[in-house]
Structure 1
């Protein structure tokens, strides 16, 4: 965290408990990898959501689906990638991911009313 800036989500989550993980996430993953110009943030979000689903890391979708929306993904794109991957990553993973996506997307719609 730079002086005077708000703490990152990882800093809030782990702070002094796991400072190296916070640093690697903030400085390397989001400070370097996500900033590379070869893929847009939107495309990185779509790939990340797909990768998390395929790996069964469904809990991480709670952060990455809203981040993907902020990066320009649409509800249709998110639900379509989950549907598509049901056949490649497994039905239970896709159903679990769609459950998370539905909850988040429904909440987004409710907030915008």
Structure 2
């Protein structure tokens, strides 16, 4: 396997440009926080997707939608969560998020 195939998403995106941020992402966020036992990965994914929608952080959404799928979230659950969020976070944010979800599930 090549070195590139073994790199994390953060390493691929940022390389050596921001090594501390890559390290925190890989070693603290994903190797520690995401692995804590008090919330299941599926629940963490749902919370993260909701936070990204609420914060209008659509650039991070495709990664987390795919991770949510891997963690057991269904298309129906993600669409329902985004629909619910439309009333609390704003219609444009929900429309952008559901478009990203459509691409994730149909792409």
Structure 1 and Structure 2 fold alike (TM over 0.5):
yes
In structure 2, stretches of 5+ residues that fail to align are none
**Which segments of structure 1 move beyond 2 Å, counting only runs of 4 or more?**
none
CA distance in 1, matches of 2:58, 2:22: 20
Describe the superposition over 1:13-52 as per-residue Cα deviations: whole angstroms up to 9, x where unpaired: 1111110110000001001100000000000000000010
Where do 1:1-113 residues align within 5 Å?
A: 6-107=6-107
**CA RMSD after TM alignment:** 1.3
In structure 1, stretches of 5+ residues that fail to align are 108-113
TM-score by length of 2: 0.93
TM-score by length of 1: 0.89
- Identify which range, 7-16 or 81-90, moves more after superposition: 7-16
1:6 Cα deviation from its structure 2 partner: 1.2
Count of aligned positions: 104
